[in-house]
């Protein structure tokens, strides 16, 4: 769905997305990196289980919630990617224990 | 008799949980009901409720209130089934039993002494509360923190989804022909020709009977129809977390996990009548105690906090009364509008429909008790 502009260049870092290692562009947010990597469902909503993806990309809508390094319900659009970061998409409610 | 659009059998003043429960109970008995509500900006106790259907501690110092509470707790399963049948809405009533948790030996001792005194009020006190040690509590609440030394447990305690309860009551009232009239703040009530003429911010309503269910505003409304409702409002604050998977399978009096996964924390009792604004030092204590009870709460995001005003009568117990000078006028005041909703719909409403409160059942809640000389 999303493609990078052809003039985009720059360093990359490696993160894991649902257990698979993926090279993403340094400086991207988690939400942007997931979109560029072709992830279209970030979570299933907490009550109805509806598929959700980012809407505002600026910290307001809380649709891009993912688990980052074991902490649930992080706003992916506000967190820059880091080498070795573990990103997991979510199914339903945040797990109470993480 | 044909009734005009502004004439009703019964006008209920106050469209919160209490008024809606009474209104539903009357509407299902084929009474033509008007539920007169204020605007959205009104101070509403129903907005600040914690959704417990709670028994333990109720009736301390007044055993009739313990009986009344147990009666409602026992009627709640039938009540919620009835609402589901009427509206298709599940109000998520559960009665797994509930806890008070103690964070020090001193707190536990004080709780045990309180429960002892409660049980000792009457040889046939209507419910039992157990004092449990830490390991007994941990067997039921495995997520407790190291500071929890024990607690008290009552198997009659439960909770529900009170937002859905309110919606179900309004929907069920409408299904039976009741009218919910928003932005009809009641400004005056006159008793004329054995009926009531009610002036509201939107006009005039005529009704054969009137029920005052306007929370703390009952204090000012009751004297208009020869009744009284001495009140002392109390402020409380609530915070709520994001939704998480179920971990808390029993409500605690100050912490409960809702059917949709959020965790509500509400622990404050403050003097005052303004619901506006939060008191951060109080929120900090509430949050700190909650995290000591369940450390995993410390990792969760709080998504909302708000303050509200509780409906408190002068002695904290409900008032149900009928007017002698204006027959057909009734007053109802209570703090526990969720817990007592089953009684209000299934027990109190039929008495109002019949025009006579049953003294055997609600006699102890007449406001006449405030006139007993202190020395008696």
**Tens of pLDDT, residues B85-113:** 999 999 999 999 999 999 999 999 999 99
Judge contact between B151 and B101, C-beta under 8 A: yes
CA B74 vs CA A69, B131, B202, B322, B341: distances in Å? 47, 22, 40, 26, 12
Closest-CA distance of chain B to residue A61, Å: 13
Q: What digits encode the pLDDT tens for the residues B215-246? A: 999 999 999 999 999 998 888 889 999 999 99
Determine the average pLDDT of the residues in B284-298: 95
Q: Using CA atoms, how far apart are residues B75 and B263, in angstroms rounded to an integer?
A: 26
Strands A90-91 and A43-44: parallel
Token pair belonging to B261? 């996964």
Q: Share the mean pLDDT of chain B.
A: 94
Could you tell me the domains of chain B? Answer: 7-50+163-229+316-369 (3.50.50.60), 234-310 (3.30.9.10)
**CA-derived radius of gyration, chain B:** 21
Out of A93, A97, A98, the one facing B261 most closely (by C-beta) is A93
Cβ–Cβ gap A46/B261 under 8 Å = yes
Q: Where are the domains of chain A?
A: 12-91
Out of A47, A71, A95, the one facing B245 most closely (by C-beta) is A95
Backbone angles phi, psi at B53, to 5 degrees: -110, 90
Token pair belonging to B282? 């109080």
Cβ–Cβ gap A73/B301 under 8 Å = yes
What pLDDT score was predicted for residue B374?
Answer: 56
- Kindly state the percentage of chain B with pLDDT values over 70: 95
Q: Does CATH place domain A12-91 in 3.40.50.11060?
A: no
Judge contact between B112 and B53, C-beta under 8 A: no
B17-27 and B162-175 helices cross at what angle (nearest 10)? 30
Q: Share the mean pLDDT of chain A.
A: 95
Residue carrying the six token digits 């409602």: B72
What pLDDT score was predicted for residue A3?
Answer: 85
Q: Which of A96, A97, A98 to mutate to test the interface with B (most CBs of B within 10 A)?
A: A96
Lowest mean pLDDT among B21-35, B41-55, B358-372: B41-55
Q: Sign of the C-alpha dihedral, residues B298, B304, B309, B311?
A: negative
Out of B143, B242, B296, the one facing A73 most closely (by C-beta) is B242
Cβ–Cβ gap A94/B242 under 8 Å = yes
Q: Using CA atoms, how far apart are residues A74 and B196, in angstroms rounded to an integer?
A: 57
- Report which of B363, B354, B253, B338 is spatially closest to residue B72, judged by C-alpha positions: B338
Judge contact between B20 and B181, C-beta under 8 A: no
Cβ–Cβ gap B261/A97 under 8 Å = no
Helix (H), strand (E) at residue A43: strand A43-44
In sequence order, what are the beta bridge partners of A15?
A: A22
Cβ–Cβ gap B242/A97 under 8 Å = no
Inter-chain contacts counted by CB atoms under 8 A, chains A and B: 33
Least CA distance to B143: which residue of chain A? A97
Cβ–Cβ gap B243/A96 under 8 Å = no
**Reported ipTM:** 0.87
- Report which of B126, B55, B64 is spatially closest to residue B366, judged by C-alpha positions: B64
- Kindly state the percentage of chain A with pLDDT values over 90: 88
Cβ–Cβ gap A47/B299 under 8 Å = no
């Amino acid at each position: 769905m999303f493609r990078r502009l052809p003039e985009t260049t720059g360093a990359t870092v490696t993160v894991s997305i649902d257990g698979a290692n993926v090279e993403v562009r340094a400086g991207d947010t988690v939400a942007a990196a997931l979109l560029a990597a072709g992830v279209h469902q970030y979570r299933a909503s907490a009550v109805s289980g509806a598929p959700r993806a980012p809407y505002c990309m600026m910290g307001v809508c809380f649709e891009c919630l993912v688990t980052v390094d074991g902490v649930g319900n992080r706003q992916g659009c506000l967190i820059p990617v880091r080498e070795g970061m573990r990103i997991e998409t979510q199914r339903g409610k945040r797990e109470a224990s993480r | 008799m044909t009734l005009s659009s502004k004439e009703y059998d019964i006008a209920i003043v106050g469209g919160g949980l209490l008024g809606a429960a009474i209104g539903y109970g009357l509407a299902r008995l084929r009474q033509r009901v008007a539920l007169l509500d204020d605007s959205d900006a009104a101070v509403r106790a129903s907005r600040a409720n914690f959704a417990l259907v709670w028994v333990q501690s109720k009736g301390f110092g007044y055993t009739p209130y313990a009986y009344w509470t147990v009666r409602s707790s026992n009627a709640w399963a039938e009540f919620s089934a009835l609402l589901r049948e009427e509206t298709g809405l599940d109000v998520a009533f559960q009665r797994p039993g509930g806890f008070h948790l103690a964070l020090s030996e001193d707190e536990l001792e004080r709780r045990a002494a309180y429960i002892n005194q409660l049980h000792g009020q009457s040889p046939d006190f209507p419910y039992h509360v157990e004092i449990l040690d830490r390991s007994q509590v941990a067997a039921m609440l495995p997520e407790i923190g190291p500071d929890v030394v024990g607690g008290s447990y009552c198997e009659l305690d439960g909770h529900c989804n009170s937002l859905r309860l309110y919606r179900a009551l309004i929907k069920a009232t409408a299904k039976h022909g009741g009218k919910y009239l928003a932005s009809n703040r009641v400004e005056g009530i006159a008793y004329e020709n054995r009926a009531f003429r009610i002036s509201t911010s939107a006009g005039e309503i005529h009704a054969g009977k009137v029920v005052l269910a306007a929370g703390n505003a009952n204090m000012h409304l009751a004297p208009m129809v020869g009744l009284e409702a001495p009140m002392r409002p109390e402020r409380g604050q609530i915070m709520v977390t994001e939704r998480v998977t179920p971990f808390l399978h029993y409500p605690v009096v100050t912490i409960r996990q809702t059917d949709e996964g959020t965790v509500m924390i509400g622990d404050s009792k403050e003097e005052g009548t303004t619901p506006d604004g939060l008191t951060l030092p109080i929120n900090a204590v509430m949050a700190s105690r909650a995290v000591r009870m369940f450390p995993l709460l410390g990792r969760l995001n709080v998504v909302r906090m708000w303050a509200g005003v509780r409906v408190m009568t002068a002695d904290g117990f409900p008032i149900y009364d009928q007017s002698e000078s204006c027959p057909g006028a009734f007053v109802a005041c209570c703090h526990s509008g969720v817990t007592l909703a089953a009684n209000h719909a299934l027990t109190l409403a039929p008495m109002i429909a019949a025009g006579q409160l049953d003294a055997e059942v609600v006699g102890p809640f007449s406001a006449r008790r405030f006139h007993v000389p202190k020395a008696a």
